[in-house]
Structure 1
Amino acid sequence: MSILMSQQQVKSDMAIQLMSKTMEMAEMSSESMTDMLETAVVPHPDLGQMIDIKA
């Protein structure tokens, strides 16, 4: 009985560690995505809206 409880505890601890690592990776990914979006160059809002056909 004690061995089964110990094995369950190990499985539970492993699952918690795996979830923690997954959350850390997701957080790092979202931070890098936020940084990328903050540094992205936003084009002028009127760019490409008008065509000069007189030329």
Structure 2
Amino acid sequence: MDISELSMSLSQNKLLTAVGTAMLGKTLDVMEGQAQLLTEGIDMNAPSLESLVYPTSGTMIDMRI
């Protein structure tokens, strides 16, 4: 292997590493955005599924003395 082939090989490896790092950075940005949207979408004040099916459940207390 001569110097020019070695130089080209190292240059290609450097380029592929840079492209891979850039792709990983973009993927990380997308995943962070999706995680933020997911956490914003989970609203703790939203009614539960059970309260939608049984709207009067838990609204009355039966007490007898």
TM bracket, shorter-chain basis? 0.7 to 0.9
- The residue type paired with residue 49 of structure 1 is V
Structure 2 residue 53 is the aligned partner of structure 1 residue 49: yes
When the two structures are aligned, how many residues end up with a matched partner?
51
- TM norm structure 2: 0.68
Correspondence 1:9-48 to 2 at 5 A: 9-42=10-43, 43-45=46-48, 46-48=50-52
Residue 5 of structure 1 corresponds to 6
**Structure 1 ranges of 4+ moved more than 6 A:** none
Residue 60 of structure 2 corresponds to none
- Kindly, what percent of the aligned residue pairs are identical? 6
- TM norm structure 1: 0.79
Q: Can you list the C-alpha shifts for 1:8-45, whole angstroms capped at 9, x where unaligned? A: 00100011001100110010001000100011154411
Q: What secondary structure is seen at the aligned counterpart in 2 of 1:48?
A: helix
- The residue type paired with residue 39 of structure 1 is E
Report how far residue 48 of structure 1 moved.
3.5
